């Protein structure tokens, strides 16, 4: 806060503010920003190659433009928030510039600059993926978190953790999957999956009979991943589980889930 | 680049000229030789070795601050069980300037129902069952980003956001599938520190008091988060 205000209105006297506010501001800015600023005192510098670079007061398309850096001048990149960069002009003015404009600047050697942005290619090639899904597990609600690692564009390994919340019993489930995408470059990319894991169920406290159980499970499933935008994926899937119970016959459970994920 | 070429050409010119002079003086071959000499172009390094040091540019990394982590404290009302202090923690990842995903955990304690107070009889729940803990995973959207001004010289970035998500609540001895939604206001003290005011409704089904019903548990809290 202090940074920005001194840059926008450097001449304003500090005496107009109540003293406690100044103290609070100083304490907060010292506590939180100096440590970070000291660690990264040296900022990356780029020079403006387009006729001008527009600075906004905040990291968003609606914030007003308040300053323009001219061609040939250099700016320091202080931080990045999503696709917005906070830059400092030679005269100390600080503002936010979007990625599209930043890509028109030049590095010190005169080379062009690229800032990482996720796109369709990353959707196919990205190594890591994590997501949240929810749905129906044999009549009960299920909430799942998963993380995946791609061995190649087609095959990935996933680790899942789920909480199952039913009318009669609750439980959790952990599993390891192997997923195969036949057409990983399609925007809607179908996949097949199979895996194994453990399921733990405990009857609800309002139900007297029944005891806790932990059983092994195996499953096969199909689903699709849909590239929404940037790092975002929408995902839906169906899995058919076999629970290897200690009783005479095994249980079969169907699961439907949908959710979102992002890759990195 | 330009200066390097200049050095190269100067060196070349010097060699050619000195070569011409030398051959002309020594062997008297003069005009004939000088025509073919430029093609030979002896190595220029022998005479001038331009010690151009390549600048090792180690570019400082750009500090990306898309994660937000913090704690909150507030009041939560548990339907039928009164209100108490709630506290918890949250982590968020900002995917775009609009969307973010958020996970939060919180804890509060259920009080006595009106019936328990009036009848003075045995409590409905044990003390451990009165603990109310929840977690949820939400998707949020910054619906009204903006700026606020305090006095003449200070401007702060803010955002009104809405969130909705799913989670689980442990209360009265069971885990309960919980839907929650709400709205919040983020006030950025600096680019890295934010204050939050949040209001949320946690809904789940419970059959503790006879028939099963959906309960609304309203929560309001104040929080501080740090971006990293």
- pLDDT above 80 for A19: no
Q: Kindly state the average pLDDT of the residues A199-225.
A: 84
- pLDDT above 80 for A155: yes
* Cβ-nearest to A143 among B168, B207, B226: B168
At B102, the pLDDT band (50, 70, 90 cuts) reads very high
Chain B residues touching residue A81 (CB < 8 angstroms) = 64-66, 94, 97, 191, 227
- Which among B20, B15, B41, B40 has a CA at the least distance from the CA of B30? B20
CB contact under 8 A, A8 and B157: no
- pLDDT above 90 for B84: yes
The pLDDT assigned to B163 comes to 95
Chain A residues touching residue B153 (CB < 8 angstroms) = 5, 8-9, 12, 16-17
CB contact under 8 A, A204 and B166: no
CB contact under 8 A, B94 and A16: no
CB contact under 8 A, B65 and A165: no
Mean pLDDT for chain A overall? 81
Please, which residues have CB within 8 angstroms of residue A129's CB and are 6 or more apart in sequence?
A147, A148, A149, A150, A156, A233, A261, A262, A263, A264
Distance from first CA to last CA of chain A, Å, rounded? 31
The pLDDT assigned to A7 comes to 37
> Residues of B numbered 85-104 whose beta carbons fall under 8 angstroms of chain A's beta carbons: which are they?
93-97, 99, 101
The pLDDT assigned to B70 comes to 95
The pLDDT assigned to B45 comes to 58
Alpha-carbon distance of A210 to B161, in angstroms, equals 44
Please name every residue paired with A190 in a beta bridge, in sequence order, or none if there are none. Answer: A224
Q: Name all contacts of A208-215 with Cβ < 8 Å and 24+ positions apart.
A: A210/A169, A213/A245, A213/A246, A215/A243, A215/A244, A215/A245, A215/A246
Chain B residues touching residue A78 (CB < 8 angstroms) = 63
We find that the CATH architecture of domain B67-227 is Beta Barrel (2.40)
Q: Kindly state the average pLDDT of the residues A114-140.
A: 84
The full set of domains in chain A, from first to last, is: 2-106 (2.30.30.40), 121-263 (2.40.160.20)
Least confident of A244-248, B51-55, B134-138: B51-55
CB B89 within 8 A of CB B72: yes
Alpha-carbon distance of B123 to A128, in angstroms, equals 50
Percent of chain A with pLDDT over 70: 82
Evaluate the CA torsion angle A61, A65, A67, A70 in order and state its sign. Answer: positive
CB contact under 8 A, B65 and A79: yes
Confidence (pTM): 0.72
For chain A, what is the radius of gyration of the CA atoms?
27
CB contact under 8 A, B153 and A16: yes
- Nearest-by-CA chain B residue for A1: B190
Please name every residue paired with A54 in a beta bridge, in sequence order, or none if there are none. Answer: A68
Q: Kindly state the average pLDDT of the residues A152-156.
A: 91
Q: Chain A within 8 Å of B122 (Cβ-Cβ)?
A: no
Percent of chain A with pLDDT over 90: 36
Alpha-carbon distance of B190 to A197, in angstroms, equals 46
- pLDDT above 80 for B42: no
Q: Of residues B170 and A31, which shows the higher confidence score?
A: B170
Q: Chain A within 8 Å of B77 (Cβ-Cβ)?
A: no
The pLDDT assigned to A29 comes to 55
Q: What is the dihedral of CA B75, B80, B81, B87, to 10 degrees?
A: -30
**Tokens in use for B147?**
């700026």
- Nearest-by-CA chain A residue for B125: A205
* Cβ-nearest to A82 among B60, B66, B226: B66
- pLDDT above 70 for A82: yes
In tens, the pLDDT along B137-193 reads 999 999 999 999 998 888 999 999 999 999 999 988 888 889 999 999 999 999 899
With 0-12 CB in 10 A as exposed, 13-18 as middle and 19+ as buried, what is B197?
middle
CA atoms within 13 A on the CB side of B206: 22
ipTM, 2 decimals?
Answer: 0.72
| Highest mean pLDDT: which range of A194-203, B35-44, B58-67 | A194-203
Q: Which of B94, B97, B155, B227 to mutate to test the interface with A (most CBs of A within 10 A)?
A: B97
- pLDDT above 80 for A152: yes
Least confident of A91-95, A122-126, B169-173, B191-195: A122-126
Chain B residues touching residue A10 (CB < 8 angstroms) = none
Percent of chain B with pLDDT over 70: 75
Q: Chain A within 8 Å of B213 (Cβ-Cβ)?
A: no
Q: Kindly state the average pLDDT of the residues A207-217.
A: 79
Chain B residues touching residue A43 (CB < 8 angstroms) = 60
Which run of H or of E encompasses A124? helix A120-125
- pLDDT above 80 for B133: yes
At A110, the pLDDT band (50, 70, 90 cuts) reads confident
| Highest mean pLDDT: which range of A228-237, B82-91, B110-119 | B82-91
Chain A residues touching residue B62 (CB < 8 angstroms) = 44, 77, 79-80, 85, 115
Chain B residues touching residue A107 (CB < 8 angstroms) = 57, 59
Mean pLDDT for chain B overall? 82
Evaluate the CA torsion angle B19, B24, B28, B32 in order and state its sign. Answer: positive
């Amino acid at each position: 806060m202090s940074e920005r205000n001194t840059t926008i209105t450097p001449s304003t006297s500090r005496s107009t503010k109540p003293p406690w506010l100044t103290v609070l501001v100083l304490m907060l800015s010292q506590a939180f920003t100096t440590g970070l600023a000291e660690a990264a005192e040296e900022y990356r510098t780029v020079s403006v190659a387009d006729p001008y670079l527009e600075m906004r007061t905040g990291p968003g398309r609606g914030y007003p433009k308040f300053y323009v850096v001219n061609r040939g001048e250099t700016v320091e990149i202080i931080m990045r928030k999503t696709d917005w960069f906070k830059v400092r002009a030679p005269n100390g003015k600080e503002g936010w510039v979007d990625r599209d404009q930043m890509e028109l600047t030049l590095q010190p050697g005169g080379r062009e600059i690229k800032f990482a942005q996720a796109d369709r290619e990353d959707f196919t090639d990205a190594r890591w993926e994590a997501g949240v899904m929810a749905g129906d597990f044999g009549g009960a609600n299920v909430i799942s978190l998963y993380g995946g690692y791609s061995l190649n564009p087609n095959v990935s390994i996933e680790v899942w953790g789920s909480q199952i919340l039913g009318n009669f019993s609750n439980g959790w489930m952990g599993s390891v999957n192997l997923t195969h995408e036949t057409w990983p470059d399609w925007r809607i990319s179908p996949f097949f999956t199979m895996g194994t894991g453990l399921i733990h169920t405990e009857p609800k406290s309002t139900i007297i009979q029944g005891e806790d159980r932990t059983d092994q499970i195996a499953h096969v499933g199909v689903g699709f991943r849909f590239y929404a935008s940037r790092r975002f994926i929408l995902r839906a899937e169906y899995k058919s589980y076999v629970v290897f119970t200690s009783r005479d016959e095994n249980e079969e459970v169907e699961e439907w889930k949908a959710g979102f994920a992002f890759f990195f | 680049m330009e200066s390097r070429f200049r050095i190269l050409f100067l060196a070349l010119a010097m060699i050619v000229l000195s070569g011409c002079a030398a051959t002309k003086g020594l062997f008297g071959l003069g005009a004939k030789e000088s025509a073919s000499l430029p093609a030979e172009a002896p190595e220029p390094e022998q005479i001038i070795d331009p010690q151009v040091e390549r600048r090792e540019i180690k570019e400082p990394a750009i500090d990306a601050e898309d994660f937000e982590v913090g704690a909150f404290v507030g009041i939560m009302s548990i339907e039928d069980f009164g209100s108490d202090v709630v506290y918890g923690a949250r982590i968020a990842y900002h995917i775009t300037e609009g969307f973010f995903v958020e996970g939060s955990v919180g804890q509060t304690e259920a009080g006595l129902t009106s019936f328990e107070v009036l009848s003075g009889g045995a409590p409905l729940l044990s003390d451990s069952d009165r603990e109310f803990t929840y977690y949820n995973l939400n998707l949020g959207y910054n619906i009204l980003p903006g700026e606020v001004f305090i006095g003449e010289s200070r401007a702060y970035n803010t955002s009104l956001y809405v969130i909705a998500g799913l989670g689980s609540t442990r209360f009265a001895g069971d885990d309960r599938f919980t839907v929650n939604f709400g709205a919040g206001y983020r006030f950025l003290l600096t680019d890295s520190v934010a204050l939050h005011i949040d209001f949320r409704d946690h809904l789940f089904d419970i059959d503790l008091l006879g028939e099963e019903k959906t309960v609304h548990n309203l929560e309001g809290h104040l929080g501080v988060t740090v971006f990293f």
